Amino acid sequence: MSVTPKYEQVNTVLRITLILNLLVAVGKIVTGILTGAIAITADGIHSLIDALSNVLALFANRIAAQPADDDHPYGHRRFETVAALALGILLLLTAWEIVSSAADRLFGGEAPQLTGAAFGVMGATLVINIFVSRYERRKGQELNSELLIADAANTGADVWVTVSVLVSMVLVTMGVGWADAAAAVVVVLLIGRAAWSVIRGAGGVLVDTAPYAPAHLTAIAESVPSVQQVVRVRSRGTLDAAFIDIDIAVEPATTTDHTAAIADAVRTAFADKLPGLDEVEIHFVPTKAPDDAAHPNYALIARAAADALGLSVHEVRMIDRPAVPDTLWVIGTGKLLEMHVEVAPGQTLNEAHEQVTTLELQLRAQLPEINEIITHIEPMGAGQINGLLAQACIRLQKEAKTLLDREYPLLNWHDLRAVPLDNGCALTLHVTLPGTLTLERAHQIAESAEAMLRSTLPRLTRVTIHTEPIEAP
């Protein structure tokens, strides 16, 4: 069975800690037996419990490193959580052990025969305990291991146990017999707090307490320009191995290629902001806003219809051609849908034209408001767009919105769409202006905004601004 580098590092830390805990335990127990000090012997037994917890942690860490299988499709990380929970329980047992030892000392028993050697051994074990606790906590934070952090809390409690024993030893030599029991009560409270912290953390994972707030996850997902609405988001697991489930609303005509690109962008955003994720599961939910019928997404509808026929479309444009009064010669009015259609190469023009005609007929049936459809037929592959350029256009779209809001804060810029075109990006957008403005003034505003965008963002090869009046209340 292969083990990841992280788990090998965790195992190394646990082995070093195990050896040091065994040395400490042996030193305390031998000293306790020789001096007859119950507190020292009990502290040695507590160190043995620390060593046992290290063995348990090594076993759990080995299991947790196993990859997912049929019986455990989400991996074996919960074994590490169970081990952390067991360490919390061991802390509680240690607290009970100290209480028992304190009671024995308080209600009887001969005073121990303490020597300088006993103080030397306890001082040395205290130094070792402090080193182990800090070393294990630092490594746990570096490796994002809840197991090491939990075990460090256990060892940290042992430091206070040893300090209480040393204090009681000093006071006993001064004739204060009850000092041992009083110090033990303080230590029990400290250990109980550490145990509660470990048990609460491990228990929270076992009952699927969310490691991340839904609002935080939603903000990360919606920072991706293609994500308009997050329907639901959930998380479970630990901070170093979290699972995220997210439902994202998309328009019904969105293609699988488009949703796959959105999913990749969302996963990248999560990975950048939340290190240590195990998996991000993304579901797409079709949604329809109340005004979709009045403002359909023609590009998505055309792309979905083309996908169903084995075709591909790009550079989809919808042009509103208003009727011109008192004009006898008018070349078409109403809505014009333009697009490039890619067909499989190696066929005749008749065959390609027949496929594109089928596409046009389906779009006319689906979009009765369209007055005319103009298609440019080309072989498959000629119009394929580099994925990096598409991502650059998405970023340009966001930058353009920021610039417009900064330079023209009183205007309502909306419906921005940037698509690849001629090794650059073509941007279309709408702006709402007062209906009382003259046509010349509205045109001047649009021209000024276009000039500002193209000079600031040279990758914009075309900018089309649609001006519209503010609707009367």
Residue 431 has pLDDT above 80, yes or no: yes
Q: Are residues 260 and 371 part of one domain?
A: no
Residue 383 has pLDDT above 50, yes or no: no
Could you tell me the pLDDT band of residue 36, with boundaries at 50, 70 and 90?
A: low
Would you state the pLDDT for residue 358? Answer: 92
More confident: 24 or 53: 24
- How far, in Å, CA of 443 to CA of 280, rounded? 47
Of residues 388, 391, 229, 365, the one with CA closest to residue 305: 365
Q: Are residues 187 and 127 part of one domain?
A: yes
Q: Are residues 183 and 68 part of one domain?
A: yes
Out of 266, 286, 306, a domain closes at: 286
- How far, in Å, CA of 420 to CA of 427, rounded? 9
Mean pLDDT of the chain: 76
State the average pLDDT over residues 396-417: 87
Q: Are residues 156 and 238 part of one domain?
A: no
Please give the torsion angle defined by the CA atoms of residues 173, 176, 177 and 180, in that order, rounded to the nearest 10 degrees: -80
Would you state the pLDDT for residue 424? Answer: 77
State the average pLDDT over residues 328-343: 72
Residue 407 has pLDDT above 80, yes or no: yes
Q: What share of the chain is helix, strand, coil (3-state, %, to 5)?
A: 55, 20, 25
Residues ≥6 apart with Cβ < 8 Å to 345:
379, 380, 381
Q: Are residues 151 and 18 part of one domain?
A: yes
- For the record, the structure tokens of 161 come out as 């146990």
Q: Are residues 272 and 195 part of one domain?
A: no
Q: Are residues 355 and 218 part of one domain?
A: no
Answer for the pair 278, 267: CB distance below 8 angstroms, yes or no.
no
Q: Is residue 158 part of a domain?
A: yes
Q: Are residues 331 and 272 part of one domain?
A: no
Q: Is residue 112 part of a domain?
A: yes
Q: Is residue 431 part of a domain?
A: yes
Out of 379, 406, 435, a domain closes at: 379
Share of the chain above pLDDT 70, in %: 71
Q: Could you report the per-residue pLDDT of 137-163, keeping only the tens digit for each?
A: 888 888 777 667 777 776 776 777 778
Q: Are residues 234 and 190 part of one domain?
A: no
- For the record, the structure tokens of 386 come out as 């580099």
Could you tell me the pLDDT band of residue 59, with boundaries at 50, 70 and 90?
A: low
N- to C-terminal Cα separation, the chain: 71
Share of the chain above pLDDT 90, in %: 2
Answer for the pair 424, 392: CB distance below 8 angstroms, yes or no.
no
Q: Could you report the per-residue pLDDT of 229-245, keeping only the tens digit for each?
A: 888 888 887 766 778 88
Residues ≥6 apart with Cβ < 8 Å to 143:
6, 9, 10, 13
Instruction: Please state the three-class secondary structure of 165-205 as a single string.
Output: HHHHHHHHHCCCCCHHHHHHHHHHHHHHHHHHHHHHHHHHH
- For the record, the structure tokens of 60 come out as 């759990």
CATH number assigned to the domain comprising residue 318 = 3.30.70.1350
Query: Residue 374: which domain range?
Result: 298-379
Least confident of 110-124, 212-226, 440-454: 110-124
Q: Are residues 201 and 255 part of one domain?
A: no
Out of 239, 266, 286, a domain closes at: 286
Would you state the pLDDT for residue 288? Answer: 59
Least confident of 72-86, 90-104, 222-236: 72-86
Q: Are residues 165 and 198 part of one domain?
A: yes
- How far, in Å, CA of 301 to CA of 58, rounded? 56
Would you state the pLDDT for residue 361? Answer: 92
Q: Is residue 292 part of a domain?
A: no
Q: Is residue 120 part of a domain?
A: yes
Would you state the pLDDT for residue 182? Answer: 64
* pTM > 0.85: yes or no: no
Give how many domains the chain has, as a whole number: 4
More confident: 294 or 410: 410
Residues ≥6 apart with Cβ < 8 Å to 261:
226, 387, 390
DSSP 388-448: HHHHHHHHHHHHHHHHHHHHSTTSEEEEEEEEEETTEEEEEEEEEE-TTS-HHHHHHHHHH
Residue 12 has pLDDT above 70, yes or no: yes
Q: Is residue 416 part of a domain?
A: yes
Q: Are residues 83 and 162 part of one domain?
A: yes
Q: Is residue 440 part of a domain?
A: yes
Q: Is residue 293 part of a domain?
A: no
